[in-house]
Amino acid sequence: MRRKIVAGNWKMNKTLDQGLQLVDEILSSSETSSQVLKIIAPPYIHLAAIAEKLSSREDFAVAAQNCHHLKSGAFTGEVSAEMIASTGAKYVIIGHSERRSFAGETNDILSQKVNIAIDKLTPIFCIGENVDQRNANTHLETIRAQLKDALFHLTAADFGKIIIAYEPVWAIGTGVTATSHQAQGVHNFIRTEINKKYGKEISENTTILYGGSCNAQNAQELFSCIDIDGGLIGGASLKATDIVSIINSF
């Protein structure tokens, strides 16, 4: 049975001290469900300290927000999957729409990132359409291509390690959220595409998160959808009361 997950992507927010304080506030908040895996994705500088703080909690884990597509080399400012794993982090976000947009990351580059990361980390792989693709009704073709070009080269065993995050780009940081009907429809489409490629067992066990302005007010409705297994949370993950409310929305 696929696990329920709430992952908080802090993006470029929080100093180290502020990040550690936020983790302490989350841990000291009212009881969060142990049935939900809580993944914290802070900036790189936080990884080791937060991983150490959470090392005794099986229901918490740490993720990096990105990794380089090569193992090592003369790439100033970049961080490898092996380096991330050495901090105690277990997960890595790959293909976030902001990386695709401002860093120009293509499906080919993202495929290489998955290949280099998957032996050491669990990828949280982001897919989704922009507003033009949604309005032109080509969003499903876009998502199919993202899956095919970046992930469907994997063996069934390796694909089984992947977490998918559907993020409609038009809903990220805009305050606009896909309706539960829209989100469920795309999540079902993703699961159907996985079924076609890898079969029912893998498709039914692939966790698919929703990532598009999910917050404390709409999380319960979204998470009640049969194919939505949790959320990749942006701004709402920066406040302990909000993220705890989202966690407890299942």
Report the C-alpha dihedral over residues 20, 21, 22, 23, rounded to 10 degrees.
Answer: 50
Q: Rounded to the nearest 5 degrees, what angle is found at the Cα of 211, between the Cα atoms of 179 and 161?
A: 125
**Whether the Cβ atoms of residue 161 and residue 118 lie closer than 8 Å to each other:** yes
Q: Which amino acid makes up residue 240?
A: A
Dist. CA 41–CA 218, nearest whole Å: 21
CB 95 within 8 A of CB 110: yes
What secondary structure, in 3-state letters, does 16-37 show? HHHHHHHHHHHHHCCCCCCCEE
Q: Which residue among the candidates 46, 68, 69, 96 is catalytic per the annotation?
A: 96
Kindly state the DSSP code that residue 70 receives in the 8-state scheme.
Answer: S
Nearest alpha-carbon partner for 114 in 51, 168, 159: 159
Catalytic residue among 46, 167, 187, 193: 167
**DSSP assignment of 191-242, as one string?**
HHHHHHHH-HHHHHH--EEE-SS--TTTHHHHHTSTT--EEEESGGGGSHHH
Residue 204 annotated as catalytic: no
Between CA 36 and CA 214, with CA 2 as vertex, the angle to 5 degrees is: 55
Q: What's CA 137's distance to the chain center, in Å?
A: 24
Question: Does residue 96 carry a catalytic annotation?
Answer: yes
Active-site residue list: 96, 167
